[in-house]
Amino acid sequence: DSGVTQTPKHLITATGQRVTLRCSPRSGDLSVYWYQQSLDQGLQFLIQYYNGEERAKGNILERFSAQQFPDLHSELNLSSLELGDSALYFCASSTRQGASEAFFGQGTRLTVV
């Protein structure tokens, strides 16, 4: 157990809908990262927050947004969902701004039907 908690574990929703994925980092970790893993693309970096502020942005779609709250948990919001958004979404956390030795949660498997 990495200490990073993601909920829900599975999510099935229809196209056009909006969902929220939640992540609780390891105790003491200030950085949270979101990654998307699909079969053909591998792990793709979406966005990083450090102590409540956005630090780095990857290939995150405009339909996706995230935030990190004062208690350091983070939420990833996905809206106007498309079939192609079906993937595993991972959250990772680390103590520092750099991602070295980031620890990953178990992921949320999103299926858009």
CA 49 to chain centroid, in Å, comes to 10
Which one of 66, 102, 110, 112 is in contact with other proteins (CB under 8 A)?
102
Shortest Å, Cβ 39 to other proteins: 10
> CA distances (Å), 95 to each of 26, 43, 83, in order?
9, 21, 34
Closest to 92 (Cα-Cα) out of 1, 16, 4: 4
Q: Say whether residue 8 binds other proteins (CB under 8 A).
A: no
Q: Does 111 bind other proteins (CB under 8 A)?
A: no
State yes or no: residue 42 binds other proteins (CB under 8 A).
Answer: yes
- Asked if 72 touches other proteins (CB under 8 A), the answer is no
Whole-number Å distance between alpha carbons of 24 and 85: 22
Binding site for other proteins (CB under 8 A): 2, 4, 31, 33, 35, 41-45, 48, 56, 58, 88, 90, 92, 98-107
